[in-house]
Structure 1
């Protein structure tokens, strides 16, 4: 049946279905319902069982969701969330292969097109004249053209030849073959020759026209050696990913803020670096002597703290010991306390060389002024004289244009006088190295001591270029003739070269000496100590100091110094340190305590690796209690007074802030004063024993000279304000 007919039959059947009688009435009744009737009918619909209970549970879940949203995320989750997902990239090898193939294809097409253009203008060379030599029979010359080659005999010269029958015949000798000049090229050939001679697109037309300008190099001249640039050093510690640490303040102002202990459990401990470097203070000394102050970014407060001699109680030989002190902060208006944690390395009981006569020849020529070389040598010698034993003797010869024997066989009791002499050394003039070494050798072998101690001669210089070849040979000869079993000549090279100069190696070879490359005052000091004792100066390697603060007693703490540089933020400096014989290292903290009866403030742990055995060792755990805190600066331990004054000078030069912590989630900051008047006032309040020490008096004189130099504070750091954790985020309000 067709589809259309079936649809008609279906419509007919549907139209024939009878309509119920009350359908129209019910439909009309729906349209006239009022709102009350509609609501009544809707309410009369039965509610499914359990619907009300499920709705109530949904409302309760919303309160749970709100509470979950207020829970702070873990730092590890935040750190992972900040990692931007990278889209899937192609393999590096595949991309490199694709780029190489495209480059080869483009290059081949380019050079093919260029070669085709050049081939149009390239003249076609003529075929060369071919010469055929025939071994048998008379000599014949075959050429494409006739009469192009003629044989010219030399007149008056005969050649003797032996015939088969043994007789001698004279024959003319042909000594020259002359080629007749080929035909001259036509007009087209001349054009191609001129194009090939004149048109050279790859030549530099400026050089062809004007010649080579500039300095002309001669074969007799010697080019200077290339010097490698130094990579910026990573400084500071890595900023912790803790809620209580305000990273925004550190990155915007370059100063470590207080760490709020109550905000996060990970904020309660820190691996404190053990600073022994003093390069920042050494730079400040040089600039202040020139009437300038260092730039704030050149100042590191931890270097000022490390430069002081705290005279901690000695440790056991071959081990490390923890030394602590605590008191009130005289410079902070926010009722902060200071906690000083020091580490002392022990001195061995025995050494390989019981007694040594050491003669140091120090270069004080003009070249030692560059890059602070003389200052590094002077500071290294100042630290070295503290390690002289009772049977050691120390002599010092300085030279520039002239030679001076300034110290002769001094002992450990003369250390302060030696330091005073070193302070007056200045670099000037040339370098009379030959006379200085001759005087030093005479002094080394002129001693007629019955004990015959070990003799050591050390040259500290940055170059031996002033030593002529004849003088060098003479010095080498003297060393060979006077070389004994207990004598050695070493050279400490202060130059920036990686490899020692050949002249230095040849000077030390006769006595089996060493050439040491030194850069800093610490390297000079410990190299001299190893030369004096004959032993390694390293006591502990990879020393790590861990401090755990008690959240019930400490509201906040702040590590003074150790701010990360730009490079340090990406590649932070290691918190592990190497400590040498008798060396001291100090970490200084500002702390804010709760006004309660909790006694334990912090716990200190120290671990290190023994250099010889490689075994891990640790010092006894030490506790810092509230009763250790001195109530005033005048009654604080001597070591804490020295550390506070040194740190405050560094903080002012770095343009740091005074901090206070009014509550557990808020801290206030205010710029430190520009002048050093408060530091000078504090130097007059220190303990009498500290005030009479020569090293402290030299530091006070440095503060006095710096206080006379005015400084301007950066506008970005001249504002005060408050920062706190509000709704899970650090926020700031300014005065």
Structure 2
């Protein structure tokens, strides 16, 4: 009998009695009749009936009844319902609750008004604020003569080194803007330039693994639209500022952490919503949704030709003096995806654009063409045809540089209703045939386009990239349908033009180290998040890179007094896994202090102009950061670096006369926010 398998086999062949399955169902087992039949055999406890009757006393409203404590016999004496004592008790309870609520509100308002932005040491404040000279709100650019021996008498006339701290900057600051973590000012009288955050009352954990005033918690953040920023638990990190404002505070690398792991993002949705808004003036509620990282991701990469043998990713660092009147610079880190591997054939293809997509989708299409340009080799050629009532040729057999220039012109155009898709595809086929090209014809169209025309145009070697109505929604079940984001559209176009998977790197992570000898403090620009996200453990997940894709990270760096004249201010390391290979790879670059841009292109100031401007690349970076932080009302912006400074930068750049295409886009966004007054073309040309 130890072996039950023979019995199980025999029982498995026996048929079930008729109606057994119905009688064993949940409805049959828990039927009222069945339950009543089972309860008939259950004995009733002694005295249960009397206790139930006692508990039904009508004079005991608003009170719970404990059947175990009720007497077996006799009514419970209680006051009749609606008597005066009960009413007095209810009135007293309501008054107590109201008084407690008012006290909590008063204490909350008073506490938020007296808690400083950062509980820092008083040593950072000037000794005598009244002795400081008056400073205007206008930002004057640095003098063009770098070798001038004139004594520094104003902050605006500080030396050309953006990380140099002048004597006046060391003695005094503008309270209260810079006497906080919104902008920490270094001082030479500090032994090591460190300012520790005092312990927060009620925080028992203080140790090497956690910062002061930080309690380890298991907090699960809500899944947001963008990547989440990691908040380190270190003594040099201001958690109070982080939780109050939701923005990354300035971090002191000498106190830790000196290495930061920023999130990587290429989202542009919030910026595209403002850029393509049908209204010239954007409402305050719409502008508040703008994220700084979305503006930075929308800035096109600086096209630089790459050798055909270059396969790894490109990691570059660029620095430019910030708009602050103090010693600070913006450090930009760009990551360009590795090239496609295993591609031996030369590409001579054509792309047809029907221009019927939504404005944001049209912008995503143009960014996708930039990704194609970044992936092209020296022998590759591409033809661009724009559909419409009369199809037109935007460029024939363009190389990478010419394609990037053509895309810059296409970005100026606005979407329009496009007809004649079939004619545009036939025109592209004719151009390829007469030019000797053998590549595919890629049609980029919208989900709302005429399905019959798209089906007719798809005949032959034409492949279709169909854009969905909005991000997150597929246009259909076809494999050619993609969501209208720059990453998705660019990947689809790259894969159809080159005939290969566009995924080139996985598990990409970036770490940035700052040298405390040069850097007094640094902060990550953008990536505002909620307190729940800040308290959660972990950080942003690694990302995957598609061929031709560029990711950008920006820091603001404050220089230290008496720093060495030369040396690496920051060092960035990229870790990734090649998509077609095994193993890990890493790449490290550094930014020397002398390489931070201070005098634009190196040319002398124009006649009659005693100021200098950054290069067009530096101006784009300053406008992108200023636009995002102004719209988001960043606490780091301050009154000195807000609208007036951005307006002065735009005016000076226009006066110089080399505003780029993307510079016009950023200036247009500033005009929509009311930061810059619109300038008519005729007035601009005559100025």
**Cα distance in 1 between the residues matched to 2:551 and 2:448:** 33
Alpha carbons of structure 1 residues 639 and 458: separation in structure 2 relative to 1, 3 Å: same
Aligned with 1:460 (options 434, 437, 445): 445
Q: Which residue of 2 aligns with 1:628?
A: 595
What is aligned with 1:423?
A: 412
Structure 1 position 362 matched with structure 2 position 354? yes
Q: 2:663 is paired with a residue of what secondary structure?
A: helix
Cα shift at 1:453 = 0.8
Aligned match of 1:278: 268
Q: Using the alignment, how far apart are the partners of 1:648 and 1:530 within structure 2?
A: 36
Alpha-carbon offset, residue 605 of structure 1: 1.9
Alpha-carbon distance in structure 2 between the residues aligned to 1:495 and 1:571: 36
Q: Does 1:305 align with 2:296?
A: yes
Residue 568 of structure 1: how far off its partner (Å)? 5.0
Q: Retained in 2: the 8 A contact 1:235–1:567?
A: no
Structure 2 counterpart of 1:494: 468
TM-score (norm 2): 0.56
Residue 558 (structure 1) shift: 0.8
* Residue 442 of structure 1: how far off its partner (Å): 6.1
1:53-88 deviation line (CA, Å, top 9, x unaligned): xxxxxxxxxxxxxxxx99943444979955499xxx
Secondary structure of 2:236 counterpart: coil
Matched, 1:249 2:224: no
How far apart, in 2, do the equivalents of 1:72 and 1:328 lie? 37
Structure that is richer in strand per residue: 1
Cα distance, 1:293–1:351 mapped onto 2, change above 3 Å: farther
Q: Which residue, out of 328, 333, 336, partners 1:344?
A: 336
The alpha carbon displacement at 1:336 in A equals 1.6
Compute the displacement of 1:447 (Å): 5.1
- Taking the TM superposition and a 5 Å limit, the aligned residue runs for 1:251-270 are 251-262=243-254, 264-265=255-256, 267-270=257-260
Question: Cα offset for 1:652?
Answer: 1.5
Deviation of 1:391 after TM superposition, in Å, equals 4.6
Q: Deviations over 1:149-199 (max 9, x none)?
A: xxxxxxxxxxxxxxxxxxxxxxxxxxxxxxxxxxxxxxxxxxxxxxxxxxx
Residue in structure 1 matched with residue 277 of structure 2 by the alignment: 287
Aligned twin of 1:645:
623
Matched, 1:326 2:304: no
After superposition, the Cα gap between the structure-2 partners of 1:355 and 1:369, relative to the gap in structure 1 and judged at 3 Å, is: closer
| Deviation for aligned residue 1:658 | 4.1
- Find 1:556's aligned residue among 521, 524, 529: 521
TM-score (ref. length: structure 1):
0.53
User: Alignment partner for residue 584 of structure 2, among 603, 616, 627?
Assistant: 616
How large is the Cα RMSD of the aligned pairs?
4.1
Summarize the Cα distance change of 1:423–1:694 in structure 2 as closer, same or farther, 3 Å threshold. closer
Residue of structure 1 equivalent to 2:653: 683
Q: 1: CA distance between counterparts of 2:234 and 2:560?
A: 21
1:223-261 deviations in Å (ceiling 9; x for gaps):
xxxxxxx97413341222223222332333333221133
State the partner residue of 1:73. 207
Q: Aligned to 2:634, which of 628, 651, 656?
A: 656
Distance 1:361 1:622, change over 3 A: closer
| Contact in 2 for aligned 1:312/1:344 (Cα 8 Å) | no
Larger Rg computed on CA atoms: 1
User: How big is the shift at 1:538?
Assistant: 2.9
Instruction: Output the CA distance in 1 between the equivalents of 2:664 and 2:211.
Output: 52
Q: 1:528 aligns with which of 493, 497, 507?
A: 493
When residues 518 and 352 of structure 1 are mapped into structure 2, their CA distance, relative to the original with a 3 A threshold, is farther
Q: Secondary structure at the match of 1:298?
A: coil
* Unpaired segments ≥5 residues, structure 1: 1-68, 86-229, 506-513, 660-668, 711-735
Answer with 409-418 or 317-326: which moved more.
409-418
Cα shift at 1:627: 3.4
Q: How far off its partner does 1:515 sit?
A: 1.4
Instruction: Write the mapping of 1:81-230 to structure 2, written as runs, cut at 5 A.
Output: 81-83=215-217
Residues 521 and 558 in structure 2, CA contact (< 8 A), matched pair in contact too: yes
1:377 maps to which of 357, 361, 365: 365
Question: For the Cα contact (< 8 Å) 2:331–2:557, is it kept in 1?
Answer: yes
Q: State the shift of 1:677 in Å.
A: 1.0
User: What SS class does the counterpart of residue 511 from structure 2 fall into?
Assistant: strand
Q: Mark the runs of 5 or more structure 2 residues left unpaired by the alignment.
A: 1-202, 601-611, 678-687
Do 2:227 and 2:264's aligned partners in 1 also have CA atoms closer than 8 Å? no
2:483 alignment partner in structure 1:
518
Q: Distance in 2 between matches of 1:374 and 1:77?
A: 46
More helix by share: 1
> Helix, strand or coil: the match of 2:354?
strand
Q: State the distance in 2 between where 1:81 and 1:231 align.
A: 23
Alignment partners' CA distance in 1, 2:475 and 2:671: 41
> Does the aligned pair in 2 maintain the 1:308–1:646 contact within 8 Å?
no
